[in-house]
Structure 1
């Protein structure tokens, strides 16, 4: 492979090392003129991907008509580009339906510009893949965003091979401190700063090797209290340590952290880095053999998660032993800088990032398919999402990740965003003396119906928990209206919410062992719709 490395001047007078090119075009592919591409480290582009910056941009309307530029002509060409380290092709291979790229099929390259940002889509070609591809559906496309850079932008973030590195901890601490100090919108609605869960886990000061359960009714505000963290995790199928009537006495004395599952140990390590001494974990803070305690504590989920300093989400762990921190290949995660002068795109420097990988990691984590976690994603004011490839930060102001630590400049998922906005609107509402306003009434009903539809598509170990797993949400709605809640339906909207329907595609299953009334959507298993089609 012929490579060249040049020094290119940039606006501030400094220099960045030039991007390295593969100057040997793949078979049957002709060399085209390409613009200057620059980067702060050694990044490779194959000829096919360089050509994407050499042609006129495709307008959005033309994109809808599937006007395309040719990418690799064969799976062998793609495999060769991946082997040589092409930035785009390596990332495309990660999205291939086949785990190995030896069977990767022909792909087309589309450039779809918008004023901000410009997008590159790698779109599957029907005649080669046999997969259905709709012009109005971008879910199956591999998309890269080009973000216009300002003179003040620094170099793209460099990632450590390990998610438990000091660099990653430093990034998380910076996110948290910045939010606490500078985001007033992340403090609104959370005025009960003195509220405490019934039990908390005391993990000691940084460096401590033991933990214990404390009862806040006894201790009131604990010594050295600086808030508490919460943990969202998947229970899995293997037995693990839990709080019961038998284990409670022993857990009230200091116990070795090493005896806890890995996800719990990792969460405690994070608490130590944050210098937060207390954490709430459902399996260790609710008596698992006491229906009375479980019922009381599950009704407080709104307060538990809303008042936490930050929620830790073990998004890609299959169970308590999966852990938070992963080893990764930074080279397939980091963004790079490109300078383009092609028609249809404003000339200048752009940061290129892998939109598809980043947003899939955030939106499609296995944990988010779980019914109990549905509300845990919506209730906290701040969350750290430990994904497959990197850590994400989410607060009321921004969504960020390690590779884009200053913020991801696109919506993570329309449904997720709309759910979060809806919950914020409900939090702002207050019951009127006689009846709610028509506008508030409609907002109240619509937001609830959206939540129910999404929640009903999630899975639960015990279907009888379907309503209990929404207790946190019902608490917020109860504080916002005079309406009365009955088995998943609000009495002021009963005429519309009783007309639910089961998704025809839902697997036919028997009713739960302890179902809600037959007129409630919670009486069936599967995704439901509360809105007329």
Structure 2
């Protein structure tokens, strides 16, 4: 190992990983093989006659033939000055000095040329930053921009574009320690000593990967070459490597596991052709992605859905399902059952998603994983969508039928685990709100008293949405303000529900409501 990550030794190793994946990993080539001829609308051409220049090409106008290109993931920082604007378009088309680029962009040019890749896609230079119409055309294409890139370069250790990709490092801190087996041992194998948290410290928890936009860039790219603060890392759909473990990182698994999607895609069938519901393994994958994404930060709160649209488009293409404000039409009831994971969640001050969607909140959320035995206590009678503004932020309303109980009419306080959607919401007697029982989860538990006989105790919990009235209309209109879980039978009965064997029956009449 050399003391610089820009050394020939390091870059040769990276190129070896890239070539090996490109030639032998069927899974990693699967996404690109779907649209090999697809190209972004604009690219940076970095192989001009003058090695000191780059220029912006418009793929359709310049008749650019399909060719490999790299993408770049980086943090914008607060002083991103070099951008594609209406005023800079002509200058970029004529050509610019590479030395005027931020250091991270310059280093990306070095890597691309080293790998004999002529084109580079960087969002700040390929999307018109002062043109809303151009932004709305380009953002839905993120799925294809990253999935068709031959490799994504990630500036994992830099806080802004001036931080660069390369680092000086202490090589002794990278090489894993080796402990030789004692001469009297039963095995002669050596043992490696390594820090099993270094991947999370340098990559997953690093400055770059806290950024919301990077979540889908990492997931959609077949290959990612990370430039950390002490070494480079490689992640593809098949392998996870670094300089310390160039043959594969021990005890680590890539988060880029989209196998349920690939399996469905390879079968050539859309799930809607066989079932009305998204299969449980796909829904679990989606929920896990939503949970992880909700922990990321966005500079602009209204980017919540656009920064996830590439992943949504991929799911939609493979499943044939209908996407509604962060959820899927075939499994809306299941996906309504989520709660905030930390009290720091905030409700968006401007509309970007309906209150029943996780996308309406800024902060971590946790979707409910379906129990083996469950019962839905509401039904969806209609879904209305208004896309008059933009298809990423169209307003969606749910027409539901279920039983409502207002908190101010309860005989006594409920014993429930309450999850207000924000700390700004006070769920107490001073504020009227409604319980809408949504779903049950049933479990069979082996009690201490019955363990000698192998008997099972029956346990049930009920998840409820907490709503507040918005408009007295017919049907009335409500907004979600929280979530709660109730597991005491007496408390469950206070909501007009009674246990009949292992199911719940309502003793109250159901109401039609609209949830916005």
Q: Scaled by the length of structure 1, what TM-score is found?
A: 0.65
Structure 2 CA distance for aligned equivalents of residues 278 and 173 of structure 1: 17
- Which of 220, 242, 247 aligns to 2:88? It is 247
Structure 2 CA distance for aligned equivalents of residues 387 and 365 of structure 1: 9
Structure 1 CA distance for aligned equivalents of residues 161 and 264 of structure 2: 33
Kept after mapping to 2: 8 A contact 1:487/1:520: yes
Q: Does 1:303 align with 2:144?
A: yes
Corresponding position of 2:47: 204
Kept after mapping to 2: 8 A contact 1:337/1:349: yes
Deviation per CA, 1:104-160, whole angstroms, max 9, x where unpaired?
xxxxxxxxxxxxxxxxxxxxxxxxxxxxxxxxxxxxxxxxxxxxxxxxxxxxxxx11
Shift of 1:430: 4.9
Secondary structure, aligned partner of 1:324: coil
Corresponding position of 1:347: 188
Structure 2 CA distance for aligned equivalents of residues 343 and 362 of structure 1: 40
Corresponding position of 2:492: none
Corresponding position of 2:22: 180
Secondary structure, aligned partner of 1:179: helix
Q: Structure 1 residues 312 and 280, CA, compared in 2 at 3 Å: closer, same or farther?
A: same
Q: Does 1:396 align with 2:237?
A: yes
Q: Structure 1 residues 529 and 433, CA, compared in 2 at 3 Å: closer, same or farther?
A: closer
Kept after mapping to 2: 8 A contact 1:464/1:512: no
Structure 2 CA distance for aligned equivalents of residues 482 and 348 of structure 1: 51
Corresponding position of 1:170: 12
Deviation per CA, 1:42-72, whole angstroms, max 9, x where unpaired?
xxxxxxxxxxxxxxxxxxxxxxxxxxxxxxx
Shift of 1:386: 0.8
Secondary structure, aligned partner of 1:162: coil
- Which of 342, 351, 356 aligns to 2:197? It is 356
Kept after mapping to 1: 8 A contact 2:261/2:318: no
Kept after mapping to 1: 8 A contact 2:200/2:206: no
Q: Does 1:194 align with 2:32?
A: no
Corresponding position of 1:214: 57
Corresponding position of 1:318: 159
Corresponding position of 1:492: 330
Shift of 1:321: 0.4
Shift of 1:357: 2.7
Structure 1 unaligned regions, length at least 5: 1-158
Q: Structure 1 residues 392 and 427, CA, compared in 2 at 3 Å: closer, same or farther?
A: farther
Structure 2 CA distance for aligned equivalents of residues 463 and 429 of structure 1: 38
Listed as ranges, the matches of 1:116-515 within 5 Å are: 159-191=1-33, 192-204=35-47, 208-222=51-65, 226-341=67-182, 346-412=187-253, 416=255, 419-421=257-259, 424-425=262-263, 427-428=265-266, 430-432=268-270, 435-437=273-275, 441-503=279-341, 505-515=342-352
Structure 2 CA distance for aligned equivalents of residues 454 and 432 of structure 1: 26
Kept after mapping to 2: 8 A contact 1:240/1:320: no
Count of residue correspondences: 369
Shift of 1:498: 1.9
Q: Scaled by the length of structure 2, what TM-score is found?
A: 0.67
Secondary structure, aligned partner of 1:189: helix
Corresponding position of 2:354: 517
Shift of 1:514: 3.4
Kept after mapping to 1: 8 A contact 2:179/2:192: yes
Shift of 1:343: 8.8
Corresponding position of 1:11: none
Structure 2 CA distance for aligned equivalents of residues 215 and 305 of structure 1: 18
Secondary structure, aligned partner of 2:4: coil
Shift of 1:327: 0.5
Shift of 1:497: 1.1
Kept after mapping to 1: 8 A contact 2:203/2:209: no
Secondary structure, aligned partner of 1:325: coil
Structure 1 CA distance for aligned equivalents of residues 271 and 307 of structure 2: 30
Structure 2 CA distance for aligned equivalents of residues 495 and 473 of structure 1: 21
Kept after mapping to 1: 8 A contact 2:31/2:148: no
Deviation per CA, 1:328-380, whole angstroms, max 9, x where unpaired?
00011112433113898733323443333345323322211111111111101
Secondary structure, aligned partner of 1:341: coil
Kept after mapping to 1: 8 A contact 2:143/2:311: yes
Structure 1 CA distance for aligned equivalents of residues 319 and 26 of structure 2: 25
Shift of 1:439: 8.5
RMSD: 2.4
Kept after mapping to 1: 8 A contact 2:83/2:129: yes
